[in-house]
C-alpha cells in the first residue's frame, strides 16, 4: 500500500521550501501518494500564484482558502478546515515547513488526531517570544515526530529543550535546494532591464515584520534610515502588502514616495527577486529567508532586527544584525560601498541535496 503524505504550504516563504520536497517525492510515485495542501494564508497573485509558476509547483490538491485574519482567528480557521481534511484524507504523515501560522495550526491538528508530523526547518530560535514566528517554531517542534534541522544551532536548541535526539536530523536547507536548482531561470530574469538597473549599482530593501512596520514611531525611525541610505545608493523596495498597508495607515506614503532614489515596487516573483538580490550591492531586510539566500549568493545582508534565529548566517555567512540603529547601518553601508564586505562561506549541507536527505529518512522510516 502506498503511504499517503500531506505537504502544507500557506504563506510566501513556504513555497520555496515545499517545491524541492514535492520534486523529490515525485521520483517515488510508486511508494508515496503525496498531496499538496495550500491553506490560503497568502492569496494575492504576487504572494502566492507566481511562486507556483516560477517554481513549477503543481496546483494544490486541496485549497483551504483561509485568507487574512487576526492571529487567533487565522490559526483557528486553518485548524478547523485542516481537521476536516485530515479526517477525510487519513494521511500517514503530514509535513509542515517554516514558522508561519499555517505551520503551527496544522501541527496542532496532527497532534490532536495522532497523525505523524514532520517539521522541515526545525530548531531555529530567536529567543524572542514577541515574534509570532518564535511561538510557531516552539509549538511545532514540540509536536513533531521528525525534526529536520537546517543549521547546527537547531540541533543544540532542540537538545536543550529536551527533544529526543532520535527525532532530530541535520538535513540542511531546502530553500537553498530551490535557489540552486532555479539558478538558470534566475540568471535569465530580465528584472534589471525592466527596472533600468545596473549590476551592483543599487541596494534592495524588504521590510514587513510587525515590530518594524506596525507602529508609526518605528516606521518614522525606518524612514530616517532609508533617507540617509538613499543619499548614498539607489534603493529598490518590493513592498509587502502588510508594510504598504501600515505606511498608508500612518500617513507616511507621501514622505516615502518623495525620496528620489527610493523605488517602491510591487512584490516580485521568485526568479526576479533572487536576481535583483544577486546583483545588488547589499540587502537591507527584516526577513528570515533572505538572510540565508544572501549568504549563499555572497551578497552582504544588513538585518533590521534585534536578533536572528539563523545564527549561521552571521557566524559563517554575510549577515550583520543592525536592528534600527542608524549609526550601525550607515557605517556598514559605508564600509560595503568602499569594498570592505563580509564574504562568508556557505554553511554545511546547504548544497542542494537537503530535500533528498529528508525524503530518504521518511522512506526508510515510514
Ligand atoms: C507571514 C508570516 C511571516 C512571513 C511572512 C512572509 C505569520 C505569523 N507570519 O507574515 O513569518 O515572514 O508571511 O510574507 O505567519 N496580505 C495581503 N495579501 C496576501 C497576504 C497578506 O494583502 O496575499 C496582507 C493582509 O492585509 C494581511 C497582512 O498582509 O492582514 C499580513 O498577512 P499575514 O499572512 O497575516 O502575515 P505576514 O505579515 O504576511
CATH number at residue 44: 3.40.50.2000
296 lines ligand 1 (CB under 6 A): no
For residue 266, being part of any structural domain is answered with yes
CA-based nearest residue to 266, from 50, 68, 109, 9: 50
Tell me if 101 CB under 6 Å of ligand 1.
Answer: yes
205 and 307, same domain (yes or no): yes
Report in angstroms the alpha-carbon separations of 80 from 64, 102, 212.
Answer: 10, 12, 31
Please indicate, yes or no, if residue 206 is contained in any of the structural domains: yes
Which pLDDT score, from 0 to 100, does residue 190 have?
A: 98
Q: Which residue has the cell 541610505?
A: 229
Q: Are residues 56 and 162 in the same domain?
A: yes
Does residue 179 contact residue 173 with C-beta atoms inside 8 Å?
A: no
Give residue-wise pLDDT tens across range 93-122. Answer: 999 999 999 999 999 999 999 999 999 999
Residue 121 shares a structural domain with residue 232 = no
214 and 238 together in one domain: yes
69 lines ligand 1 (CB under 6 A): no
Claim to verify: residue 204 and residue 150 sit in the same structural domain: no
Residue 177 located in a structural domain: no
Q: Cβ(356)–Cβ(184) under 8 Å?
A: no
Mutation pick for ligand 1 pocket among 241, 273, 285 (CB with most ligand atoms within 8 Å): 241
The residue contributing the CA closest to ligand 1 atom 28 is 242
10/148 same-domain check:
yes
Task: Looking at the structure, tell me whether residues 142 and 214 fall in a common domain.
Answer: no
Q: Are residues 259 and 127 in the same domain?
A: no
Determine if ligand 1 sits within 6 Å of the CB of residue 120.
Answer: no
pLDDT at 267: 97
Exactly one of 119, 208, 240, 250 is catalytic; name it. Answer: 208
Distance, CA 87 to ligand 1 centroid (Å)?
27
Determine the pLDDT at residue 141. 99
Instruction: Give pLDDT, residue 121.
Output: 98
Which atom of ligand 1 lies closest to the CA of 136? 8
Range of the domain at 142: 3-172+350-365
Q: Is the dihedral of CA 168, 150, 131, 52 positive or negative?
A: negative
Asked if 55 and 31 sit in the same domain, the reply is yes
Site to substitute for ligand 1 among 12, 100, 129, 286, most atoms within 8 A of C-beta: 100
Mutate to test the pocket of ligand 1, among 41, 65, 99, 267 (most ligand atoms within 8 A of CB): 41
100 Cα nearest atom in ligand 1: 15
pLDDT at site 74: 98
What CA–CA distance (Å, rounded) separates 320 from 303?
6
Please, which residues bridge with residue 170 across strands? 149
Are both 329 and 356 inside the same structural domain? Answer: no
Nearest Cα residue to 140 out of 162, 166, 109, 165: 109
What pLDDT shows up at residue 266? 97
Whole-number Å distance, alpha carbon 202 to ligand 1 midpoint, is: 26
pLDDT of 290: 98
Ligand 1 centroid to residue 208 C-alpha, Å: 8
CB of 98 within 6 A of ligand 1: the answer is no
Ligand 1 atom nearest the C-alpha of 69 is 30
Nearest CA to ligand 1 atom 14: 12
Residue 181 lies in a domain: no
pLDDT tens for the chain, 366 residues: list them: 999 999 999 999 999 999 999 999 999 999 999 999 999 999 999 999 999 999 999 999 999 999 999 999 999 999 999 999 999 999 999 999 999 999 999 999 999 999 999 999 999 999 999 999 999 999 999 999 999 999 999 999 999 999 999 999 999 999 999 999 999 999 999 999 999 999 999 999 999 999 999 999 999 999 999 999 999 999 999 999 999 999 999 999 999 999 999 999 999 999 999 999 999 999 999 999 999 999 999 999 999 999 999 999 999 999 999 999 999 999 999 999 999 999 999 999 999 999 999 999 999 999
Residue 198: what pLDDT? 98
287 and 332 both lie in a single domain: yes
Distance (Å) from CA 8 to ligand 1 centroid: 16
Q: Which atom of ligand 1 is nearest to the CA of 209?
A: 38
Q: How far is the CA of 100 from the centre of ligand 1 (A)?
A: 9
Atom 27, ligand 1: residue with shortest CA distance: 68
**Active-site residue, 208 included:** yes
Rg (CA), the chain: 20
Q: In this structure, are residues 210 and 132 in contact, taking their beta carbons and an 8 Å threshold?
A: yes
Domain membership of residue 345 (yes or no) is: no
Q: Is residue 183 part of a domain?
A: no
> Could you tell me if 167 and 34 lie in one domain?
yes
Residue 11 and residue 49 in contact, taking contact as beta carbons nearer than 8 Å:
no
Tell me, using a 6 A CB cutoff, whether residue 275 lines ligand 1: no
Give the number of domains in the chain.
2
> Using CA positions, which residue lies closest to atom 18 of ligand 1?
44
User: Looking at the domain assignment, is residue 107 inside a domain?
Assistant: yes
Ligand 1, atom 21, lies closest to the CA of 42
Q: Is 261 in the pocket of ligand 1 (CB under 6 A)?
A: no
pLDDT of residue 247: 97
Amino acid at each position: 500500500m502506498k503511504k499517503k503524505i500531506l505537504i502544507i504550504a500557506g504563506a510566501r516563504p513556504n513555497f520555496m521550501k515545499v517545491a524541492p520536497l514535492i520534486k523529490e517525492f515525485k521520483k517515488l510515485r510508486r511508494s508515496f501518494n503525496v498531496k499538496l495542501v495550500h491553506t490560503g494564508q497568502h492569496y494575492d497573485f504576487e504572494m502566492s500564484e507566481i511562486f507556483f509558476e516560477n517554481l513549477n509547483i503543481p496546483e494544490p490538491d486541496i485549497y483551504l482558502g483561509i485568507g487574512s485574519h487576526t492571529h487567533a482567528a487565522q490559526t483557528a480557521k486553518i485548524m478547523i478546515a485542516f481537521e476536516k481534511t485530515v479526517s477525510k484524507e487519513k494521511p500517514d504523515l503530514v509535513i509542515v515547513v517554516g514558522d508561519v501560522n499555517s505551520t503551527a495550526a496544522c501541527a496542532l491538528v496532527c497532534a490532536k488526531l495522532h497523525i505523524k508530523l514532520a517539521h522541515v526547518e526545525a530548531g531555529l530560535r530567536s529567543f524572542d517570544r514577541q515574534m509570532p514566528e518564535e511561538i510557531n517554531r516552539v509549538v511545532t517542534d514540540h509536536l513533531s515526530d521528525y525534526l529536520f534541522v537546517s543549521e547546527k544551532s537547531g540541533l543544540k536548541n532542540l537538545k536543550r529543550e529536551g527533544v529526543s535526539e532520535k527525532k532530530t536530523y541535520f538535513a540542511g536547507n531546502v530553500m537553498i535546494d530551490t535557489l540552486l536548482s532555479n539558478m538558470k531561470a534566475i540568471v535569465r530574469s530580465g528584472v534589471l532591464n525592466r527596472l533600468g538597473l545596473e549590476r551592483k549599482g543599487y541596494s534592495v530593501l524588504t521590510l514587513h515584520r510587525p515590530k518594524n512596520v506596525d507602529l508609526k514611531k518605528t516606521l518614522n525611525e525606518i524612514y530616517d534610515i532609508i533617507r540617509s541610505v538613499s543619499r548614498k545608493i539607489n534603493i529598490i523596495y518590493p513592498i509587502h502588502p502588510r508594510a504598504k498597508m501600515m505606511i498608508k495607515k500612518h500617513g507616511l506614503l507621501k514622505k516615502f514616495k518623495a525620496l528620489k532614489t527610493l523605488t517602491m515596487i510591487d512584490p516580485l516573483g521568485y526568479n526576479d527577486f533572487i536576481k535583483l538580490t544577486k546583483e545588488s550591492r547589499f540587502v537591507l531586510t527584516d526577513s528570515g529567508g533572505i538572510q540565508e539566500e544572501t549568504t549563499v549568493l555572497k551578497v552582504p545582508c544588513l538585518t533590521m532586527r534585534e536578533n536572528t534565529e539563523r545564527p549561521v548566517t552571521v557566524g559563517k555567512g554575510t549577515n550583520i544584525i543592525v536592528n534600527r540603529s542608524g549609526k550601525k547601518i550607515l557605517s556598514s553601508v559605508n564600509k560595503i560601498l568602499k569594498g570592505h564586505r563580509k564574504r562568508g562561506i556557505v554553511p554545511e549541507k546547504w548544497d542542494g541535496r537537503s530535500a533528498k536527505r529528508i525524503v530518504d529518512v521518511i522512506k526508510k522510516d515510514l
